[in-house]
A = this chain, B = another copy of it.
Amino acid sequence: MSSAASSRPKSVPRGRVDKRKAILDAAFTVFARRGYAQACVQEIAEEAGVAKPTVYSHLSDKETLFRHAVEAALDALLEEKLTVIGRLRARAPDEDPHAALTDLAHGLARICCGEPARALRRLTYAQAAQFPDLAETTQERTVHRPRAALADRLARLSLAGALRPCDPEQAAEHFFALLTGPLESRSLLGTRRVPAAELRGTAEAAVDTFLRAYAGDRQLSQTTAEGDRPDGS
């Protein structure tokens, strides 16, 4: 997303390129950098390697620009998360869930701490009051849908006896909470880049606690023994 635009395509051959996409990418980059109010359309145009009137010919408004840019970024992020969650499907349902969940947690942690996700969180929080419908879309795409997808997977694990009988929606919610809550505080509201080691430690701690609370009888003793050192961060 921002990686493509951050190389400042100043010298696009001026002819036919996919200007619209370039503009939306640039818009997200600049909004992420400055925030909605502080971002000016001129800078977006420059970032996209395009003239200001061109921007207005594609997207009528600064607000429209913002909405489309944010929604595109949301979609990309959702897809990433669903892919990582979907990897659970490939696992044998009766395998030890510890390894599978650790992989999952680590994958999700990497996504949540990536620049796009952090920027998106800042932007949607900031404009939650001004564009309440966007806040709703955001929750839907970044929280509810991934949670539902995870709940499906956890339900299967539960049936297979790897997790105790429980409400899978709530289990998924708690899984995400244990993972993203600590990450949130470690990234200083998305301000700071979380080092990979911390990220891994946080993910493991989350899985540990999650399994202590949700592991099925079959797994309990094993898990409890394994995660007994206090911490490591």
**Residue of B128, B173, B176, B231 touching A190 (CB-CB under 8 A):** B128
Residues of B within 8 A of A127 (CB): 35, 126
- One of A9-17, A44-52, A55-63, A178-186 contacting the partner: A178-186
Question: Is A205 part of the contact surface with B, judged by Cβ < 8 Å?
Answer: yes
CB atoms of B189 and A173 under 8 A apart: no
- One of A67-75, A99-107, A130-138 contacting the partner: A130-138
CB atoms of A130 and B35 under 8 A apart: yes
Question: Is A218 part of the contact surface with B, judged by Cβ < 8 Å?
Answer: no
| Most chain B beta-carbon contacts within 10 A, residue among A147, A176, A180, A212 | A212
Interface string of A163-181 (1 = CB under 8 A from B): 0011101100110111011
Q: A212-B213, A230-B166 are in contact. Are A129 and B185 (CB under 8 A)?
A: no
Question: Is A209 part of the contact surface with B, judged by Cβ < 8 Å?
Answer: yes
Q: A33-B129, A182-B177 are in contact. Are A230 and B170 (CB under 8 A)?
A: yes
Query: A-side binding surface: helix, strand, loop or mixed?
Result: helix
CB atoms of A188 and B135 under 8 A apart: yes
Q: How far is the CA of A163 from the CA of B172 in the complex (A)?
A: 24
CB atoms of A181 and B176 under 8 A apart: yes
**Residue of B36, B169, B210 touching A231 (CB-CB under 8 A):** B169
6 residue pairs of the A-B complex, CB under 8 angstroms, read: A122-B129, A126-B126, A128-B190, A135-B189, A136-B188, A170-B205
List 18 additional contacts besides A132-B188, A173-B182; criterion CB under 8 Å.
A33-B129, A34-B129, A37-B37, A122-B126, A126-B127, A128-B188, A138-B189, A139-B189, A166-B230, A169-B231, A174-B178, A174-B182, A174-B205, A177-B177, A177-B178, A177-B181, A209-B214, A212-B212
